[in-house]
């Protein structure tokens, strides 16, 4: 996600005071991060973040091409959300009966709908822009393209596990957005067992690695995250651990103090959620080394696999 704009203000690089929740999350993540440190020590990751040598569990490979960037104006001032994209009927599998909502960050059509996405919406604590355009690599590969590609791959992997999967949008439907409050509502109305918003960051060159964003405790206006803070932290810890293990990528070197975990209270998609939900910033699109990973279809498949395994582990309670 681009940190340009009020919805995505860059967190301050200060060391937060560690409360009980932070300690609890930290206790869940080190096992997987220890695997990363061992992997680094033996030279596995190298200069490319380890994407070419990381061990990946056997899985069917989902194919997904990047969407076109020329979504057309539907003439509507509000994106249509009556039918969020749903997967085919769930197959038999260990996740049969489970519902997962995937939220591909931004939308390729946002560039053509700046007036609409700049409209303010209430996120409980205050008002924010409906959405933003997101960031891109220096070569022009957009975050919206990246998030849709990874989301489609993740959808296919979860369907094979038997889950019912819903996407908040599919690039062309709706033609822009949805707004951040509506993205949360889709997961809430689906009574999702887990929800995840897929992003890539737009930080400074040299800032590398992934991080998972957890909802902080918010109780203001329409926002009340208190019932989902603990379960979301559990979901995020599982995803962070498996993301390291499968992709070989390091946790962020610029937020999260090396844990790959960040807690925020300024994101509408988290503040308004009533189901366990996290964001993942898969890497920094503005750094050339991270960008080389994010633009690789093989690495995006690993990213989807790591996220999928984290969600499966969370839903299994393991």
Backbone angles phi, psi at 99, to 5 degrees: -115, 125
Identify the CA nearest to 101 among candidates 200, 239, 225, 198: 198
pTM for the whole structure: 0.78
In contact, 300 and 183? CB cutoff 8 Å:
no
Rounded-to-integer distance, Cα 78 and Cα 271, Å:
21
Residue-level pLDDT at 33: 55
For 38, other C-beta atoms within 10 Å of its C-beta total 10
- pLDDT tens for the chain, 318 residues long, are 643 333 333 333 444 444 544 444 445 555 545 444 433 433 443 333 333 333 223 333 333 334 333 332 333 344 444 345 555 555 688 999 999 999 999 999 999 999 999 999 999 999 999 999 999 999 999 999 999 999 999 999 999 999 999 999 998 899 999 999 999 999 999 999 999 999 999 999 999 999 999 999 999 999 999 999 999 999 999 999 999 999 999 999 999 999 999 999 999 999 999 999 999 999 999 999 999 999 999 999 999 999 999 999 999 987
Domains of the chain: 46-57+87-316 (3.40.630.40)
For 92, other C-beta atoms within 10 Å of its C-beta total 8
Identify the CA nearest to 150 among candidates 186, 182, 105: 105
- Active site annotation includes 281: yes
Which listed residue (7, 155, 281, 309) is catalytic? 281
For 45, other C-beta atoms within 10 Å of its C-beta total 19
Identify the CA nearest to 143 among candidates 111, 178, 166, 120: 111
Rounded-to-integer distance, Cα 161 and Cα 309, Å:
10
Q: Are strands 211-215 and 223-224 parallel, antiparallel or unpaired?
A: unpaired
Q: Are strands 211-215 and 85-86 parallel, antiparallel or unpaired?
A: unpaired
Identify the CA nearest to 136 among candidates 307, 283, 306: 283
Instruction: Kindly report each contact of residues 116-121 with a partner whose C-beta sits within 8 Å and lies 24 or more positions away, as own/partner.
Output: 116/77, 116/78, 116/79, 116/176, 116/177, 117/176, 117/177, 117/179, 119/179, 121/179, 121/180, 121/181, 121/268
Identify the CA nearest to 84 among candidates 157, 148, 178, 8: 178
Sign of CA dihedral 256, 262, 264, 269: positive
- Describe the strand order of the beta sheet including 277-284 as a list of residue ranges: 85-86, 164-167, 99-104, 194-201, 277-284, 211-215, 261-264
Angle at 135 between CA 268 and CA 67, to 5 degrees: 95
Element holding 32 (H helix, E strand) = helix 30-41
Identify the CA nearest to 6 among candidates 122, 171, 170: 122
For 61, other C-beta atoms within 10 Å of its C-beta total 12
């Amino acid at each position: 996600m681009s940190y340009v704009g009020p919805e995505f203000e860059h967190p301050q690089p200060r060391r937060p005071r560690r409360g009980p929740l932070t300690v609890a999350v930290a206790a869940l993540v080190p096992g997987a991060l220890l695997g990363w440190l061992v992997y680094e020590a033996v030279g596995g990751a190298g200069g490319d973040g380890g994407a070419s040598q990381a061990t990946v569990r056997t899985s069917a490979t989902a194919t997904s091409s990047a969407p076109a960037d020329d979504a057309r104006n539907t003439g509507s001032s509000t994106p249509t959300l009556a039918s969020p994209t749903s997967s085919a009927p769930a197959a038999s599998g260990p996740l049969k009966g489970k519902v997962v909502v995937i939220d591909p960050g931004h939308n390729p059509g946002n560039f053509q709908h700046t007036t609409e996405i700049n409209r303010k919406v209430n996120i409980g604590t205050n008002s924010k822009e409906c959405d933003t355009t997101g960031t891109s690599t220096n070569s022009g590969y957009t975050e919206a393209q990246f998030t849709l590609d990874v989301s489609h791959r993740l959808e296919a992997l979860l369907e094979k596990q038997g889950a019912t999967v819903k996407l908040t949008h599919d690039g062309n439907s709706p033609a822009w957005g949805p707004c951040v409050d509506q993205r949360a509502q889709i997961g809430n109305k689906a009574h999702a067992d887990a929800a995840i918003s897929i992003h890539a960051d737009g930080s400074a060159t040299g800032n590398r690695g992934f991080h998972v964003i957890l909802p902080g405790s918010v109780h203001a206006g329409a926002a009340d995250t208190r019932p989902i803070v603990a379960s979301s932290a559990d979901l995020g810890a599982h995803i962070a651990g498996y993301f390291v293990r499968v992709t070989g990528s390091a946790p962020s070197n610029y937020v999260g103090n090396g844990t790959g975990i960040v807690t925020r209270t300024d994101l509408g998609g988290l503040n308004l959620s009533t189901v366990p939900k996290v964001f993942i910033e898969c890497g920094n699109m503005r750094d050339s080394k991270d960008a080389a990973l994010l633009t690789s279809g093989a690495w995006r498949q690993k990213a989807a696999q790591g996220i999928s395994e984290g969600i499966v582990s969370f839903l299994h309670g393991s």
